[in-house]
Amino acid sequence: MDINTNTFSQNVHDHAKADDKKDDSTTGQVISEIAQAKKQMNASILESSVNVNISVGNDSLSLVLKTALENINEALQESTGEANSIQSAYDAGVDVSPEVTASRIVSLSTGFFNRYQQNHPEMEQDEALTSFVEIIQKGVDTGFGEAREILSGLDVLEGDIANNINQTYELVQQKLELFLDSAKEAQTTSEIGG
């Protein structure tokens, strides 16, 4: 069995750029097939590799963290040019409490701001910060949405699991705002002092 490790957007992009396309009338069908293959792959991954009791709250947060990081990675790849930069850091092993999960998501993703800024020298610092955080927030929203969908499909998105996921999401949003505010404050301080 061949496993395609490309992300959904990479597969769609590759198809759109393919020289051997017969005509554009099949593009929608191919994209639909790619989307279906992604859903099947996600289901297969869950069925074959998660031999853990999903009803334990922290295990579901591990899924949320992994899904969020994959989507942040995908969102940042276009801007930083680095593939799987956050995923590599994630694979080292994880404590998955809401506070630690939120801190990890934010610290791993915001750690790429300098690279983002280098790739966008046309942006002022303030604009680059705002744009960067928006990219991360889109990845977070997509990742949490997909994780909720998976857990809901398994009929386990309730009680402590749902509460932990919601708490983690809120903490991520708060920490991203804190990052943005702190970075802007540091910029203002350096402009005044320098």
**Greater model confidence, 157 or 16:** 157
Domains and CATH numbers, the chain: 1-49 (no CATH), 54-193 (1.10.132)
pTM of the full structure: 0.55
Query: At 1, is the secondary structure helix, strand, or coil?
Result: coil
d(CA 171, CA 92): 22
pLDDT tens profile 3-18: 455 555 565 556 556 5
For residue 76, pLDDT over 60 is answered with yes
At 12 the pLDDT is 52
At 188 the pLDDT is 78
d(CA 48, CA 139): 26
